[in-house]
Structure 1
Amino acid sequence: MIEGVRGMSESVERESMEYDVVIVGAGPAGLSAAIRLKQLDPERSVVVLEKGSEVGAHILSGAVLDPSGLDALIPDWQDRGAPVNVPVTSDSFYILGEEGSVRMPNAVMPPLMNNHGNYVVSMGNVCRWMAEQAEELGVEIFPGMACSELVYDGDRVKGVVAGEFGLNPDGTQGPGYEPGMELHGKYVMLGEGVRGSLSKQVIAKYGLDADSDVQKYGIGMKEIWEIDPAKHQPGKVVHTMGWPLGGNAGGGSFIYHLDNNQVYVGFVVHLNYKNPYVFPYMEFQRFKHHPMVAELLEGGKRVAYGARAITEGGWQSLPKTAFPGGTLLGCAAGMVNVPRIKGNHNAMLSGKAAAEAAHEALEAGREGDTLDAYDTEVRTGAIGKDLKAVRNVKPLWSNYGLVASLTVGGASMWMNNLFGWSPFTQKHGKSDAEATETHYGHTPIDYPKPDGVLSFDRLTNVAFSFTNHEESQPAHLKLKDVKVPVDVNLARYDGPSQRYCPAGVYEFVGEGPSARFQINFQNCVHCKTCDIKDPSQNIVWTTPQGGDGPNYPNM
């Protein structure tokens, strides 16, 4: 039994509101669905529920945007003033060593890797703009409304519980308790992003992943820097692989120059690493001391920080995206093109496709059934073609290393480009949790101490995510068994949660028999890495009360 599950301790009566479509999550997928529904039928009642304090508060993405999704949804987005105005001007890819780098010629890269025609953007600001477009069409958007439970009508999902506040730390109702409301829809669309708590439930309940490969993930960390104007080149895009990760883990970096002398500096670590001593956050901090990066950042200042998990399973890991009464949108299903490091365009296309399938069903007098037409479109349309072409890159990297991914995976992408097919589909193998090995046979990794200039300790950086949680509520990070962190994870894996979390949420206090596991949930940036990487699968991420968490400015 999970300790302290929200809302389970006391029966609650709630008021309800009825809509045609209820959408969870004001990200690019959810907002695209809302916009398309109102484009198709202005009289359709549509509500979007967002757990962040405002639209965009929980949006973190690279991001170089492929505008194909936006083109399909709002063709005149430029005339409407979309914050998409820094076109990519140069595109380079480096393999790093500790002191130097080798640039890979653009000519050897498959054409799909070309960023010509794409834009460096803040997806948080893009989503804020999309919310304005949705509201102009009559969509109701409620930020600060965390969706904590699903509501069922027989076997179908008919709604969600949103806006529950005022629970005591033990899960009982406090003096200012507000039960929230049930929002019912003829269809419920889940656009929660990676490893969404409600999405996990429907995937399990309906066996949506029964015919798909295991899902894979990465942890992406990002800082915004203001740099010396003399070094700033708007639209410059740089990707790297290699150092400092070496053989410890897969991953790489991105450096994107946007406007206003700002640069996005990001680092991704694939979560299938074996060594429990890998410390993804410290790998990111060490990366910034590479001469190529240090020279760029010298004289600048870090102004924001954040982290989030990334779905990396791709084509073969897609679950069924439709279930009785609803759909999975975007990253809730896993639509990131890993070698391109792009998923926002697919998220938008998925929202548009789900809206069109729901509209067709409602026009035909159906409601609450399974929108198989949506799942078919995801697999056979632009999203499926985008993911299928790169399906072997990530599993080859995971199973055989970087060189195999670059050579065999690259050849697979070229075959898809030239002939429209590739003769094989590589399996992923173990889940990221199962890939974690015990500490026996591994030695701790000596990471340099942050210097406070280019690199920073976690707690200092978390302050730049502007994260806040009401401390009197129950911890939203639940343990299935309170003994496992010390008796199993500390004893066998040397407590990897104290390293894989990019926000310092988890720590072990004391040593030996007196060791105690402490959860500092106030620090949580909602990346959900713990839910993914915990080797015992003992940590369950649930949503805290609405408005809590990070407050990203321009991520």
Structure 2
Amino acid sequence: MERESMEFDVVIVGAGPSGLSAACRIMQLAQENDREITVCVVEKGSEVGAHILSGAVLEPHALNELFPTWEEMGAPLKTKVTEDHFYFYTSEKSATKLPNFAIPKPTHNDGNYIVSMGNVCRWLAEQAENLGVEVYPGFAASEVLYGDDGSVKGIATGDMGISAAGEQKDSYMRGMELHARYTLFAEGCRGHLGKQIISKFGLDDGKDPQHYGIGIKEIWEIPADKHQPGLVVHGLGWPLKESGSSGGAFLYHADDNQVYIGLITDLNYSNPHVSPYEEFQRWKHHPETLKYLDGGTRLSYGARAIAKGGINSLPQMQFPGGLLIGCDAGTLNAVKIKGNHTAMKSGLIAAEAVVEALMSDAPPAQLDSFETKMRDSWLFDELHSTRNFSGYMHKFGFMLGAAMVWIDQNIFGGKVPFTLHDSKPDYAVLKPAADCAKIDYPKPDNVVSFDRLSSVFLSNTNHEEDQPCHLTLADSSIPIESNLPLFDEPAQRYCPAGVYEIVEDADGKRFQINAQNCVHCKTCDIKDPAQNITWVTPEGFGGPTYPNM
């Protein structure tokens, strides 16, 4: 059965901060120039915001540019940052609070807001629709479409109603082709289609490999006498330092007696016994965390990878027929631990380049003006000034690396006369399990710490069970024959949702994939040492349904 098709001027894949900002700005510019431009946004989540997970402390720089009157418009930025605390966790029982002058300047949060980015994106989607954008949640973009000249001409949404055996069920529905003069990919970190685009057009040639972290987050409701609206807490050290890993923790006091807590584990760790999920559970028991959580109730859970390589790992963002924007390219500022304002700004720049091209009425071509606009923007300046972060932390280790970041940012303002490169991919740094110390993680107490499956339950994750597995193996023998003896199959531990198990029965050991549990974090696609696992999009509507993440 041939797919039906629809034509648009612009198709945007992903209703996150970059994609929705681009959509809104395109329509604003169309109105300013009295030009009719058609824009469609497709989103694989069951609703806009369902798959959005971020800390989040939002710097409103880009939002101010997009909607200067956002406060009057009812944007869900309610809790302004009132206080910053930064801790060095010296052990499981102790911590040292660092004075403000001892932390990198970009990490200060004056003028920022503690937000649910899921709710911010829901609000942005409302503004986009008010401007005339067509927003379609529940439609997973599964395929890039190319024209005869090799340029991108749009995307196709996935077929619905295919059984696990690959047969058409009674509910079968053929996907749609969405054709566009320009297609913007805004899928978030390690985008399934963005990854293909980067490879096809060689957009990362000459760049450092992208580097990643896995962020695990929970929302808690805590007693009113422990709640301090506007308080932002960040921390480094234990427990990650103890396991030879790096990363950092956050605890943000939002409104309604809620706190957003989480731990980001850098995915360049070398000990295959490390479990980012268990590291997060340990951190919650630290006295500086527990003093807020004690007596509280856990409301939500989720996990998502972040692209933190910075500008050294940023691929060329333009290609024939479109652009990569936001975290699909990797615009996060790792020193600030923020990527929402930068993602939004990349969307605004993309909108300007696209509308300029559409106004010219020339045949679709590569959006070369985007690179110039990008280099002339505060986004480029910000990313360039923090370009050495990954190099410092990965080359010099936790303590010396953090000191180098402080010197770079506080003394030189990010203008040191050199650039450090980190050329080893995160998946390639694992050491053999036999050479690494095993880690004895404590059992959950079901009060503060919990097992994976009860956590996945809180993420409202669901997939149609009778569908092809969206976690594909290039070689099904590798997990048991190679990864297990060499690395004790690390997928059992790096996945924060219990998707991967080694099961032993009468026929021996086998690798089991519980795809129903997948929260779409993409860690397996990133960290598998054999690069044997590829995450592909499941049926639309599948995955987590985060209410307020």
TM-score by length of 1: 0.96
Shift of 1:172: 3.4
CA–CA distance in structure 1, aligned partners of residues 528 and 166 of structure 2 = 24
Cα 1:24–1:368 shift into 2, 3 Å? same
Instruction: List per-residue Cα deviations over 1:498-530 (Å, max 9, x = no partner).
Output: 000000000010179811000000000000000
Instruction: List per-residue Cα deviations over 1:412-455 (Å, max 9, x = no partner).
Output: 112442xx621111111310110111212113210000000000
Secondary structure at the counterpart of residue 546 of structure 2: coil
Unaligned runs of 5+ in 1: 1-11
Secondary structure at the counterpart of residue 135 of structure 2: strand
Q: Is the 8 A contact 2:107 2:337 kept in 1?
A: no
Letter in 2 for 1:437: K
Any residues of structure 2 matched to 1:136-155 within 5 Å, and which? 136-154=130-148, 155=150
Which residue matches 1:9?
none
Shift of 1:366: 2.4
CA–CA distance in structure 1, aligned partners of residues 203 and 321 of structure 2 = 14
1:182 to 173, 177, 187: 177
Secondary structure at the counterpart of residue 362 of structure 1: helix
Q: Is the 8 A contact 2:241 2:398 kept in 1?
A: no
Secondary structure at the counterpart of residue 39 of structure 1: helix
1:364 to 353, 360, 366: 360
CA–CA distance in structure 2, aligned partners of residues 480 and 135 of structure 1 = 40
The alignment status of 1:197 with 2:192, answered yes or no, reads yes
Which residue matches 1:496?
490
Which residue matches 2:340?
344
Shift of 1:176: 2.4
CA–CA distance in structure 2, aligned partners of residues 429 and 151 of structure 1 = 32
Which residue matches 1:14?
3
Which residue matches 1:6?
none
The alignment status of 1:116 with 2:110, answered yes or no, reads yes
Larger mean CA deviation between 213-222 and 442-451 belongs to 442-451
Q: Aligned Cα RMSD in Å? A: 1.2
1:280 to 276, 280, 284: 276
Which residue matches 1:93?
86
TM-score by length of 2: 0.97
Letter in 1 for 2:520: H
Any residues of structure 2 matched to 1:50-129 within 5 Å, and which? 50-96=43-89, 97-129=91-123
Which residue matches 1:424?
418
The alignment status of 1:293 with 2:289, answered yes or no, reads yes
Shift of 1:292: 1.2
Secondary structure at the counterpart of residue 54 of structure 2: coil
CA–CA distance in structure 2, aligned partners of residues 513 and 313 of structure 1 = 43
CA–CA distance in structure 2, aligned partners of residues 223 and 245 of structure 1 = 18
CA–CA distance in structure 1, aligned partners of residues 168 and 146 of structure 2 = 23
Q: Is the 8 A contact 2:22 2:350 kept in 1?
A: yes
1:244 to 239, 242, 246: 239
CA–CA distance in structure 1, aligned partners of residues 231 and 352 of structure 2 = 36
Q: Is the 8 A contact 1:389 1:416 kept in 2?
A: no
CA–CA distance in structure 2, aligned partners of residues 515 and 472 of structure 1 = 24
Unaligned runs of 5+ in 2: none
Secondary structure at the counterpart of residue 448 of structure 2: coil
The alignment status of 1:47 with 2:36, answered yes or no, reads no
1:459 to 446, 453, 462: 453
Q: Is the 8 A contact 1:325 1:367 kept in 2?
A: no
Cα 1:44–1:416 shift into 2, 3 Å? farther
Secondary structure at the counterpart of residue 403 of structure 1: helix
Instruction: List per-residue Cα deviations over 1:466-523 (Å, max 9, x = no partner).
Output: 0000000001000001111111111111010000000000001017981100000000
Which residue matches 1:433?
427
Q: Is the 8 A contact 1:187 1:367 kept in 2?
A: no
Which residue matches 1:31?
20
Letter in 1 for 2:542: D
CA–CA distance in structure 2, aligned partners of residues 377 and 269 of structure 1 = 33
Shift of 1:381: 1.6
2:406 to 410, 413, 429: 410
Which residue matches 1:235?
230
Secondary structure at the counterpart of residue 240 of structure 1: strand
Letter in 2 for 1:284: F
Secondary structure at the counterpart of residue 96 of structure 2: strand
Q: Is the 8 A contact 1:125 1:554 kept in 2?
A: yes
Shift of 1:339: 1.9
Q: Is the 8 A contact 1:53 1:547 kept in 2?
A: yes
Q: How many residues in Structure 1 have an aligned counterpart in Structure 2?
A: 542
Q: Is the 8 A contact 1:82 1:129 kept in 2?
A: yes
Shift of 1:26: 0.2
Which residue matches 1:4?
none
Secondary structure at the counterpart of residue 502 of structure 1: coil
Which residue matches 2:265?
269
CA–CA distance in structure 2, aligned partners of residues 358 and 518 of structure 1 = 45
Secondary structure at the counterpart of residue 433 of structure 2: coil
CA–CA distance in structure 2, aligned partners of residues 52 and 107 of structure 1 = 42
1:385 to 376, 381, 403: 381
Shift of 1:173: 2.7
Q: Is the 8 A contact 2:143 2:158 kept in 1?
A: no
Cα 1:379–1:439 shift into 2, 3 Å? farther
CA–CA distance in structure 2, aligned partners of residues 497 and 484 of structure 1 = 12
1:374 to 366, 370, 375: 370
Letter in 2 for 1:27: G
Which residue matches 2:204?
209
Instruction: List per-residue Cα deviations over 1:124-152 (Å, max 9, x = no partner).
Output: 00000000000000100000000010111
Letter in 1 for 2:190: R
Q: Is the 8 A contact 2:319 2:366 kept in 1?
A: yes
Letter in 1 for 2:257: N
Secondary structure at the counterpart of residue 44 of structure 1: coil
Instruction: List per-residue Cα deviations over 1:33-55 (Å, max 9, x = no partner).
Output: 10011001142100000000000
Secondary structure at the counterpart of residue 386 of structure 1: helix
Larger mean CA deviation between 404-413 and 341-350 belongs to 404-413
Q: Is the 8 A contact 1:233 1:257 kept in 2?
A: yes
Letter in 2 for 1:174: K
CA–CA distance in structure 2, aligned partners of residues 273 and 378 of structure 1 = 32
CA–CA distance in structure 2, aligned partners of residues 132 and 379 of structure 1 = 30
The alignment status of 1:226 with 2:221, answered yes or no, reads yes
Larger mean CA deviation between 101-110 and 271-280 belongs to 101-110
Larger mean CA deviation between 167-176 and 315-324 belongs to 167-176
Which residue matches 1:161?
156
Secondary structure at the counterpart of residue 510 of structure 1: strand
Letter in 2 for 1:274: S
Which residue matches 1:3?
none
CA–CA distance in structure 1, aligned partners of residues 79 and 48 of structure 2 = 22
Instruction: List per-residue Cα deviations over 1:280-326 (Å, max 9, x = no partner).
Output: 10000000110111121000010000000000100100000000001
CA–CA distance in structure 2, aligned partners of residues 401 and 341 of structure 1 = 18
Secondary structure at the counterpart of residue 440 of structure 1: helix
Shift of 1:376: 2.9
Shift of 1:391: 1.6
Q: Is the 8 A contact 1:415 1:421 kept in 2?
A: no
Secondary structure at the counterpart of residue 224 of structure 1: strand
Cα 1:452–1:367 shift into 2, 3 Å? farther
Q: Is the 8 A contact 2:462 2:516 kept in 1?
A: yes
Letter in 2 for 1:475: C
Which residue matches 1:8?
none
